[in-house]
Amino acid sequence: MSAKASFSIRAARTSDVPRIVEMTEPLVEKRVLVPKERVTYYESIQEFLIAEDTEGNLIGFGALHVMWEDLAEVRTLATLDSWRGHGVGSALLAKLLDRARDLGVDRVFCLTFEVEFFTRHGFEVMADQTPVDAEVYVELLRSPDEGVAEFLDLARVKPNTLGNTRMILSL
């Protein structure tokens, strides 16, 4: 692959789900990503962006999940190993952050092992305390979403968080 490898980013389609699942499997096995059922990807496909090479091959993806009025989460951001270091992850993250701004979100959360990558993009490691007020905290507790539970650092998800780092960015 040349140093000037070319790729594009587009909204995900349902036809991308099988390839997304295929790309996540080794990351789940390495315990880098939390396993998700295929149905979860279909249910949230509108949250995903896809990176593809000039031949239309899927080379990366990421999702933005709104959690509250002013808060969203970057989820399942991944690229093929062969495309790491070519700006795919950075381009996907930039587009996801643009989406967050367009939606009126002020803060973006992520749960990651890639602390250096997210730090380069302005994210900071979260303090032990959840940065929402008590009223919002109570509302968020009602959510069945595992990402919300991870954001709140609830004990029930600690076995699923795999020891990764909670980070946040103010837009």
Q: Distance (Å, rounded) from C-alpha 100 to C-alpha 161?
A: 23
Classify residue 99: in a domain, yes or no.
Answer: yes
**Residue 92, in any domain of the structure:** yes
Q: Domain range holding 70?
A: 7-170
Residue 1 lies in a domain: no
Q: What is the CATH number of the domain that holds 163?
A: 3.40.630.30
The answer to whether residue 74 is domain-embedded is yes
Question: For residue 141, is pLDDT > 50?
Answer: yes
Here the tokens at position 78 are 């991944």
Q: Cβ–Cβ contacts within 10 Å for residue 50, how many?
A: 21
% the chain with pLDDT above 70: 77
Instruction: Tell me the pLDDT tens digit for each residue of 63-108.
Output: 999 988 898 999 999 999 999 999 999 999 999 999 999 999 999 9
Q: Is residue 126 part of a domain?
A: yes
Answer yes or no: is 155 within a domain.
yes
Evaluate if pTM is beyond 0.75: yes
Convert the pLDDT of each residue in 21-67 to its tens digit. 999 999 888 888 878 899 999 999 999 999 999 999 999 999 999 98
2 within domain boundaries: no
Let me know the angle formed at the C-alpha of 141 by 139 and 146, rounded to the nearest 5 degrees.
Answer: 125
The pLDDT confidence band at residue 15, using thresholds 50, 70 and 90, is very high
- Which among 168, 165, 149, 145 has a CA at the least distance from the CA of 157? 149
Paired tokens of 129: 């305390």
Provide the pairing of β-strand 107-112 with 71-79.
Answer: parallel
Phi, psi for 50 (deg, rounded to 5): -120, 135
Q: Is residue 116 included in any domain, yes or no?
A: yes
Counted domains in the chain: 1
DSSP secondary structure string for all residues of 52-113: EETT--EEEEEEEEEEETTEEEEEEEEE-GGGTTTTHHHHHHHHHHHHHHHHT--EEEEEES
